[in-house]
Structure 1
């Protein structure tokens, strides 16, 4: 078993764990934006905070093992892998998305949410589409 395969397996594992949370958190935001109950509001705040803080280390470890993969393959491979350049741009967008979730979490925490449940439904679809593009790029390597 090579080190590269271990890095690749761990990169995929942590990415899957990260995305489980990234797919579920905005769904919680949808329901939170719709609730009128103070008890539900309180419960959503706890659930959202715990989930975001639970999956953030997975996002970091995804980045660590992805970086180790790139380093293992080398600079020449990185320069020649144009599909990877696009993948990295999409991944950067996902990290920005993840960071923006902290802002949304703070808005709910301080009762300053101004977004509708419709916004959060659309917001919830963005990582799905980006993940599809990232997987297609990683598997097909079209350029």
Structure 2
């Protein structure tokens, strides 16, 4: 039984930072802890994980030893949130797995745009990394 998840994210990527903030702001059924991928802390905790691979895409480590990457990592992050388990279950279908990443990115983009001061219905300037696609502001290292 999973009781805690550690999310290794690229702290140099605007989308990853915004997604982290969005995930952290949601009510969690399973606590999410965030550790910058490739950091000394991440290397100390998870010496068996390749730091370059954890920087290439989100990696989630469960306290039961499970390691989730890519689409599976986004799905388990949604699964950990209150009110998102049904969505996570639907997105776990093979044909929908890539959609999990887009949903988190879209939610993060809405949150980020909303914090820019634009009110409901008002103009919202698009963030460059959301216009170009997932991970484009970090050189594409987290683009999968």
TM-score (norm 1): 0.26
Quick one: higher RCO (CA 8 Å, sep 6+), 1 or 2?
A: 1
More strand by share: 2
Question: When you count helix as a share of all residues, which structure comes out higher?
Answer: 1
